[in-house]
Amino acid sequence: MQDPRRRVPRTDALLADPRLARSIDRLGRDRVKASIVAAQDRCRRGELAPESVVDAALDALPASGTSMRRVINATGVIVHTNLGRAPLSHAAREAVAVAAGATDVEMDLESARRGPRGRAAMDALRAAVPEAGDVHVVNNGAAALVLAARALAADGEIVVARGEMVEIGDGFRIPELLESVGVRLREVGTTNRVRREDYASAVNDRTGFVLKVHPSNFRVEGFTSSVAVSALTGLGVPVVMDIGSGLLAPHPRLPEEPDAASTLRAGADLVTASGDKLLGGPQCGLLLGDAALVHRLRRHPMARAVRVDKLTLAALEATLCGPPTPVAQALARRPEELRQRAETLAARLREQVPGCDVDVRKSAGRVGGGGAPGVPLPSWTLTVPPQYARALRLGEPPVVGRVHDDRLELDLLTVPEADDEALAQAVVRVVAAG
């Protein structure tokens, strides 16, 4: 009897198969060969027929060159850190694709000489926040604050309220971040109360600036007091405020969330913020404010270490100049519209899977990413039994919801209407499979 292992297709023959050859062009030879070898091993063990090796190798390959998968965010958290924070707009994605090749990011094509890096993105940011004398962009929000500390207070002191010495996530803390670049923090006030005179008595000839940090991921209530930016002007040193979420102008649904324009009008000399939260753009750190201060930051040696790449600049420009971002669209969704979508989806599921345990429930979403803590965003969810959560996460596309009150809630606040069909199909597949 012939050894079945002899029937396993040869590697060179499989690599030459037109279907796998196309995958080599898309994913690279090494990745495709590894998938072929794994399929051949399965064939040798008798798990696959020889004629199924190509299909098995293709099925095991990723859909793209990255292992990351597109996910339907049905958690109700608009800026979900674990899901990549702000999803980019179509305009920003197209801009990234253009920037991926050779570009004029730092060249003046008219003169054929070196030009200002990312000029259009900087111009767009200036136009979005005209209150800023100048602007600069670095690779994330923490880098913006670190650059300000190093450039304006190296070997000196930063005065900051004790109640604003916050942890920003994943174990990173503002005090440790700032002290890592050689500055000393001068804490004033108590955990829950601080007054202007506390700041005034702490400022001395070693003070680089007064720092205010928006406690973006928590709220302190009760017997509290803080000092507004407007009250800190006139202390003889710059006032820097980290607003966190990247809101550039006031938003009607987030009345208590600080924004860059209002903070600068109130007297801040410099504002730092993240670009991948409420701004809805790529990960980056924004520095906006007094032109002389921004120039010092731009020319500081550390600015090179935290410089953004061309992909970020392209996405940022498209975010600022393009159509409403997915974050802005989510904030604009109205409860009555979400309820109608949820009821339509529920009716479809009951029709396609008779006896399906599906319901519609009122809910409250959140901004996420440290923005607007404690502010509920009225929404509606599609709910199914919680045992479907894992199968939905592992499906194609993955659907991530939240389990609450013994139900898996699929919150439509964070699901674009264009994804309703994909969401419905995913749920139907899982429910029908039991």
- In this prediction, residue 1 carries a pLDDT of 42
Answer whether 281's CB lies under 8 Å from 88's CB: yes
Short-list 143, 114, 139, 168, CA closest to 369: 168
Strand partners, 408: 384, 403
- In this prediction, residue 219 carries a pLDDT of 67
Domain 89-322 has CATH 3.40.640.10: yes
Task: Report pTM.
Answer: 0.89
Asked if domains 72-82+329-432 and 89-322 share a fold, the reply is no
Domain ranges for the chain, please list them: 26-59, 72-82+329-432, 89-322
State which residues of the chain have pLDDT below 70. 1-5, 169-171, 216-219
Domain 72-82+329-432 class, CATH top level: alpha beta
In the chain, what percentage of residues exceed pLDDT 90? 79
DSSP state of 193: B
- What is the four-CA torsion angle of 284, 118, 105, 93, rounded to 10 degrees? 50
Answer whether 73's CB lies under 8 Å from 80's CB: yes
- In this prediction, residue 145 carries a pLDDT of 95
**How far is the C-alpha of 52 from the C-alpha of 17, rounded, in Å?**
13
* One-letter amino acid for residue 401 of the chain: G
Short-list 335, 319, 228, CA closest to 277: 319
Q: Which residue has the tokens 């079945």?
A: 4
- 368 class by beta-carbon count within 10 Å (0-12 exposed, 13-18 middle, 19+ buried): buried
